[in-house]
Chains A and B, each alone.
Chain A
């Protein structure tokens, strides 16, 4: 049961604290990654990395508009 797995996180204080910190570490990385991807996709074509290729010759224009 899922409930048993969740309950096992609370049984020992050490596991509880480790879950909190581990979750925080994973969350901040995934959350920042997700938000940044959305933000950069939402503003595609306006960011410097998107317009760089238009002005600078020979720049790595991997992000072509």
Chain B
């Protein structure tokens, strides 16, 4: 009785309910994309497209010319609000700057020195071992200077955000002229679809020809965003180039050992696998 095939009527009911379910789900998803309340797609931010970074891939190093230009963008633009606590001047040497260039940059700055004989604080010019100073003394000062918003430290920002480089680049270049109709922003914020929630305290900062590159690269908005993102990826992963070189070595050695182990297994088992049992029944009388 249960093995009976579904009648045409039952088939129609099943197909109809599947269609209704699909259309309802599509409609709800569409409605969801129209609003920006909690637990909607807009709350999580627009997903960035995947860009073809020059360091994408297992064996690709950073583009060091880009790191150098990106540091220039950081220093002239980002550094007015964002710190870079984990990078010392010495880290730039041999990566994007020469030792004398790095020395020149840090010696322009003043760092705390040991107190003098009477215990009074002293200052000294920077050394290569000093870390790049942030724009604010502490978090409270940073918030006070930015209407309560804290500009995050950028040392590890590429690792700390979903989407990594793609997200940072999209965020920097993704400010529309006007927020879309109907978007209500809290005071002191700007609209950026890539930022979760859409309301970001940072405004658009990169505009064409904001900096002048020493190598003559045209400083378009996207060029600067690309360079500073590459730079921030380097600050997040200074070991990147060496890591990929070691990865190549490890892959070669480990896969060779794997192939050798397969060969040894087949060699050792060859006799077992190739043997043949034969049973000759005793002849009956």
Contact = CB atoms under 8 A, between A and B. Distances in A.
Do A and B touch (CB < 8 Å)? yes
Interface of A: 31-32, 35-36, 38-39, 42-43, 46-48, 50-52, 54-56, 59
Contacts of A46: 54, 60-65
B182 interface: no
A36 B63 contact: no
A52 B97 CA distance: 8
Given A39-B248, A47-B61, A54-B215, 18 more contacts: A35-B248, A35-B252, A36-B245, A39-B59, A39-B244, A39-B245, A43-B59, A43-B61, A46-B64, A47-B241, A48-B94, A48-B95, A48-B96, A50-B64, A51-B68, A55-B68, A56-B101, A59-B98
B239 to A, nearest CB: 15
A42 B64 contact: no
Contacts of A35: 245, 248-249, 252
Contacts of A52: 98
A39 to B, nearest CB: 5
B116 interface: no
A55 B59 contact: no
6 contacts: A31-B252, A39-B245, A43-B60, A47-B61, A54-B65, A54-B215
B214 interface: yes
A47 to B, nearest CB: 6
A59 B98 CA distance: 10
Interface string B220-250: 0000000000000000000001001100110
A58 to B, nearest CB: 10
A36 B101 CA distance: 27
B61 A31 contact: no
B59 A48 contact: no
Interface string B98-112: 100100000000000
Contacts of B98: 52, 56, 59
Contacts of B249: 31-32, 35
Q: 7 nearest interchain CB pairs?
A: A51-B65, A48-B64, A43-B61, A46-B63, A39-B245, A35-B249, A51-B64
Contacts of B214: 55
Nearest to B69: A55
Interface in B134-170: none
A52 B99 CA distance: 12
Contacts of B60: 42-43, 46
A50 B66 CA distance: 13
Interface in B42-72: 54, 59-65, 68
Interface string B76-94: 0000000000000000001
Given A32-B249, A51-B68, A42 B59 contact: yes
Contacts of B62: 46
A55 B94 CA distance: 13
Nearest to A36: B245
